[in-house]
Amino acid sequence: MKSNKHRFHRWLALLPLSLVLFLSGCSGITVLDPKGPVAESQKDLIIFSLWFMLGIVVVVFAVFTYVVVKYRDRANRNDKDYDPNLHGNTTIEVIWTVIPLIIVIALSVPTVETLFDLEKPPVSSEEKEPLVVYATSADWKWFFSYPEQGIETVNYLHIPTDRAIEFRLSSADSMAALWIPALGGQKYNMAGMENILYLQADEQGVYDGRNSNFNGEGFAAQTFKVHAESPKEFKDWVKETQASAPELTQDKYNALLKPGLTGKTAFSSTHLEWVHHGTNDGRDYAIKRHEEAYEEHLHLDNEMLQDKADGHSNKNEGHE
Amino acid sequence: MRLDEFFVTGEPLIYAGMVSIALVTSAALFLLTYFKKWGWLWREWLTTVDHKKIGIMYILAALAMLFRGGVDALMMRVQLAFPDMNFLDAQHYDEIFTTHGTVMIIFMAMPFLIGLMNIIVPLQIGARDFAFPYVNALSFWSFMFGAMLFNISFVIGGSPDAGWTSYTPLAGAAMSPGPGQNFYLLGLQLSGIGTLATGINLMVTILKMRAPGMKLFQMPIFTWSTLVTCFIIVFAFPILTVALALMTIDRIFGSQFFTLTGEGLPMMWANLFWMWGHPEVYIVILPAFGIFSEVIATFAKKRLFGYNAMVWSMILIAGLSFLVWVHHFFTMGAGAFVNSVFSISTMLIAVPTGVKIFNWLATLYKAKIKFSVAMMWALAFIPSFVIGGVTGVMLGMAAADYQFHNSYFLVAHFHYVLIAGTVFACFAGLVFWYPKMFGHKLNERLGKWSFWFFVIGFHVCFFPQYFLGLDGMPRRIFITNIAEWLPLNIISTVGAFGMGAGFAIFVFNIYYSYRYSEREKTGDSWDGRTLEWATPTPVPYYNFATVPYVDKYDAFLAMKEKGETTYDEERLEPIHMPSYTGQPFIMMGFLFIASFALVFEWIPLAILGLAGGLIMMIVRSFDYDEGYYVEVDEIKRIERKARGL
């Protein structure tokens, strides 16, 4: 039994070690392998806090192992180091209250700084105006409207690199959250409210984006790809979409809003012309039009989801 | 309503559930009839107001709920490790994670701890029962009927599927039509009555019924944790009651408190829910801290280090627990200033919690540690909970939380604190106080097997989830649709089955020990320090023949030194005890009918049920039963037998 206990401690001591090992190979872990300044600042904050946490874990585990091994009840234990009435020591109690307090202050300062920074576009692209994209969630799809370009995409997103993207988040119905872990943290999409989220990609590539906030049966399928490309490629893509994509009519938009899964599409106009779900007027637009549809089940299972993913990758290539 | 709408159809797993429910129910009915135990069941259990028996019923029900919630968990883990099996579809998965969360928090963690409080707190303070024994029975039956209502949802009407947090507008009538969400609202509402009543009841018991001489700062630490928890319950639960009522009115009567239409405020639900929900997590963690403190001091054979600091840190944690609710939705866009305030208040909780960890470590310093199973659970808690705690601080840093929120990082964190904190404490407490409840110890050998399976399984299950979260895996998705997530998910599932095995061994140990364990000869099974160990085992229904005078912390330790017992023939007096009554059971039975009817929106039946409940309250108001006295001769007979005099 005592040998068991030892094995337990050795095993526990491995935990922080495994953490270090995992982190050293962190290029594979999305949040710790940022592709833009926002995710970068969040990663820095996480790593900064992680050192403190590792320190705490190492100290507590070391003290724990020491006392549990040293003060176990064993046959030849002498009673000199047994003090059943020891019940306080002001000095040490003050020390272990003050140290955590100092750690909390040390963590609060960069947290608050980063919080205020995240409310503004990243410093690295200050000289350029942010690109405004309205990201609207509807059960269980994404609409991305580019008002300046006059285009709208469904379930995929193109952005230029080295320029801040000002996402204006809202939802046509249930609450969702726009999360592109490679580019930065999430914020909620809510009907009747508008949240602003700044993200930016510094590296070209295709990144995973999704709704991270559970909102019903089709939740797992509410994902999209982010195509971060050079400003020139982005411009070309915009031009091509403006030229070749059909116009978005209100009827078409209303049909797309119906709860369910849809593929990727693009349009050469935006739904903002007749409704903005982030305003109080637009909050019940979808639910008034599709009231009965929310009762229907999708019967979504793994096979369906795989089919959907396969089917769509080649269906709309023209517009991507 | 047609019958195939009433019963859930089309799912083989659910048909299997129906069959097993039918089999178990008919087996129970048959056994009760065959052994002529109906009268015994009614007289000894359904009508009891004895806090010890009520506590045992709480714990048995909580173990059953742990089984149910655990099966839910294993089903989810199977689905996530083998998505190609198509074991669960999205809808079924949504229902299962919703019931898993709700059952574990509301119907497992809380009743388990309340069960232990029921049995132990009166014994620790030298009381003969609760301040309001009738209300205590009422509380139990409200919990029991609420739990039953919630649990039948998966075979009748359909389970709720909007998550245990049930955020509106998703959980509103428009997007979640049908009875499922109503089961959640009314199951929680019904059992919430009992929780609130227990909070008041225990608070009064502790404040007014302590043994003569016992000052507040001489109370055992578990009793202190209970008192602090009661204050949280009394201030937090009314918020839940109101929020549930508003959503129920929304769904059943078409009001628009939380709807998208008619200027409703869907986000108000999230605020109200977490104004209750965050204190709620301290309702299930503070008693756990109390249990660990008792177990550690007993098996370290040493006085608890820093008693005053321990008490004040609990009070501080309780106060702070009401000031942090926004950290559950930093991403709602409240702005940098609001998030900064709540970030700091959240991280501040780490200070009193850290103090407690260091105090436990200091209790072990210069101790004589005996590795009993209860102590092993308490020791395993310290390092495991530290991991959960430090990742909690990371989550509290709002700017970083934008990346952690809604991900498996969060899932890993709260399982680390709730399992390593609350569940380990439930096991530690049950093993520790088991001889006091049942007259024999649990087998230590089997207990160790169950401990190792569960603890190792726990770390294997949840540690990888931190990395899944950092890799962008959101919670509540029914498949791991990115190939890189699969290996860690498979590891996690292996761990979950390890925990399942640990639980199975634990339950088997209950049976094994019932059959083979040596019966306790004294009331002091572990060389205890507090008054519960001063009573003989099994504990007489009046607990203390003579109530000792207490002027010290660790009261029983002082009594043992002076050679005192709780049986002093000179000082015997008749003892006033409350009568058993079936009223609480019947009253809550009526409210169960009312709630069930409301779930299906059968208003006339609901009114009948409510009227029944009201009539029972009137009956109670005109009930002049003052209880009865246990005569001195009777006490002498019982005590002499129990103490072998």
Interface predicted TM-score (ipTM) of this complex, two decimals? 0.93
Position A178 scores a pLDDT of 98
- Nearest by CB to A60, which of B369, B383, B401? B383
Position A26 scores a pLDDT of 52
State the average pLDDT over residues A32-45. Answer: 96
Position A179 scores a pLDDT of 98
Minimum Cα–Cα distance from A32: chain B residue: B470
| Domain B296-482 CATH superfamily | Cytochrome c oxidase-like, subunit I domain (1.20.210.10)
Minimum Cα–Cα distance from A49: chain B residue: B394
Cross-chain Cβ contact B331/A185 below 8 Å: yes
Position B454 scores a pLDDT of 98
- Nearest by CB to B405, which of A32, A53, A186? A186
Residue B45 DSSP class: I
Arch. (CATH architecture) of A129-319: Sandwich (2.60)
Residue A179, phi then psi, degrees to nearest 5:
-135, 120
Which A residues, 2 through 31, put their C-beta within 8 Å of a C-beta on chain B? 2, 4-5, 8, 11-12, 15, 18, 22, 28-31
**Least Cα separation, residue B401 to chain A (angstroms):** 8
Q: Is the minimum CB–CB distance between B644 and chain A shorter than 8 Å?
A: no
CB distance A275 to A282 below 8 Å: yes
Note the pTM of the prediction, 2 decimals.
0.94
Other beta carbons within 10 angstroms of residue B599's beta carbon come to: 27
CB distance B87 to B148 below 8 Å: no
CB under 8 Å to B199, separation ≥6 — which residues? B229, B230, B231, B232, B233, B234, B237
Question: DSSP letters along B196-248, please?
Answer: HHHHHHHHHHHHH-PPTT--GGGS-HHHHHHHHHHHHHHHHHHHHHHHHHHHH
Q: Is the minimum CB–CB distance between B399 and chain A shorter than 8 Å?
A: yes
**Least Cα separation, residue A200 to chain B (angstroms):** 15
Residue A310, phi then psi, degrees to nearest 5:
-65, -45
Closest CA to A285 of A320, A253, A260, A311: A253
Residue B545 DSSP class: S
- Nearest by CB to B397, which of A107, A218, A309? A107
State the average pLDDT over residues B631-637. Answer: 95
State the average pLDDT over residues A53-79. Answer: 93
Three-class DSSP category at B441:
coil
**Best residue in A85, A186, A258 to probe B by mutation, most B CBs within 10 Å?**
A186
pLDDT grade for A307, boundaries at 50, 70 and 90: confident
Cross-chain Cβ contact A87/B305 below 8 Å: yes
Which A residues, 248 through 267, put their C-beta within 8 Å of a C-beta on chain B? none
Q: Is the minimum CB–CB distance between A241 and chain B shorter than 8 Å?
A: no
Position A13 scores a pLDDT of 53
Position A320 scores a pLDDT of 38
Position B482 scores a pLDDT of 87
- Nearest by CB to B303, which of A2, A87, A104? A87
**At residue B260, does pLDDT exceed 50?**
yes
Residues of A in contact with B347 (CB under 8 A): 104, 107-108
**Least Cα separation, residue A247 to chain B (angstroms):** 29
Structure tokens at B553: 């912390």
Q: How far is CA B560 from the centre of its chain?
A: 33
Structure tokens at B440: 């024999």
Structure tokens at A237: 């893509």
Structure tokens at B145: 């009927």
CATH of domain A2-76+84-118: 1.10.287.90
State the average pLDDT over residues B363-389. Answer: 97
Residues of B in contact with A174 (CB under 8 A): 169-170, 175
Structure tokens at B542: 């009046």
Which B residues, 353 through 382, put their C-beta within 8 Å of a C-beta on chain A? 354-355, 357-358, 361-362, 364-371, 379-380, 382
Position A303 scores a pLDDT of 85
Position A254 scores a pLDDT of 96
pLDDT in tens, B267-326: 999 999 999 999 999 999 999 999 999 999 999 999 999 999 999 999 999 999 999 999
Count of A–B CB contacts within 8 Å? Answer: 309
State the average pLDDT over residues B379-391. Answer: 97
Cross-chain Cβ contact A93/B332 below 8 Å: no
**At residue B433, does pLDDT exceed 60?**
yes
- Nearest by CB to B306, which of A53, A72, A88? A88
C-alpha span between B507 and B449 (Å, rounded): 12
Instruction: Please give the mean pLDDT across all residues of chain B.
Output: 95
CB distance B131 to B204 below 8 Å: yes
**Least Cα separation, residue A136 to chain B (angstroms):** 15
Position A19 scores a pLDDT of 58
State the average pLDDT over residues B507-519. Answer: 96
**At residue A319, does pLDDT exceed 50?**
no
Please state the domain extents for chain B.
296-482
Cross-chain Cβ contact A212/B407 below 8 Å: yes
State the average pLDDT over residues B112-137. Answer: 97
**At residue A20, does pLDDT exceed 70?**
no
**Best residue in B9, B76, B100, B170 to probe A by mutation, most A CBs within 10 Å?**
B170
State the average pLDDT over residues B419-432. Answer: 98
Position A314 scores a pLDDT of 38
The vertex-B135 CA angle with B130 and B139, nearest 5°, equals 105
Q: Calculate what percentage of chain B has a pLDDT beyond 70.
A: 100
**At residue A210, does pLDDT exceed 80?**
yes
Position A9 scores a pLDDT of 52
Q: Is the minimum CB–CB distance between A112 and chain B shorter than 8 Å?
A: yes
C-alpha span between B126 and B124 (Å, rounded): 6
Minimum Cα–Cα distance from A290: chain B residue: B174
Q: Is the minimum CB–CB distance between A80 and chain B shorter than 8 Å?
A: no
CB distance A32 to B470 below 8 Å: yes
Position B19 scores a pLDDT of 86
Minimum Cα–Cα distance from B453: chain A residue: A8
**At residue B550, does pLDDT exceed 60?**
yes
C-alpha span between A7 and A91 (Å, rounded): 34
Position A311 scores a pLDDT of 56
pLDDT in tens, B45-104: 999 999 999 999 999 999 999 999 999 999 999 999 999 888 999 999 999 999 999 999
- Nearest by CB to A181, which of B86, B175, B472? B472
C-alpha span between A123 and A120 (Å, rounded): 8
**At residue A17, does pLDDT exceed 90?**
no
Cross-chain Cβ contact B364/A5 below 8 Å: no
Instruction: Please give the mean pLDDT across all residues of chain A.
Output: 90
Position A28 scores a pLDDT of 80
B429-438, B473-482, B612-621 — which is least confidently predicted?
B473-482
**At residue B473, does pLDDT exceed 50?**
yes
Q: Which helix (H) or strand (E) holds A187?
A: strand A184-189
- Nearest by CB to A115, which of B161, B340, B455? B340
Cross-chain Cβ contact A193/B406 below 8 Å: no
Please state the domain extents for chain A.
2-76+84-118, 129-319
Entry field: residues in chain B: 645
State the average pLDDT over residues B483-510. Answer: 96
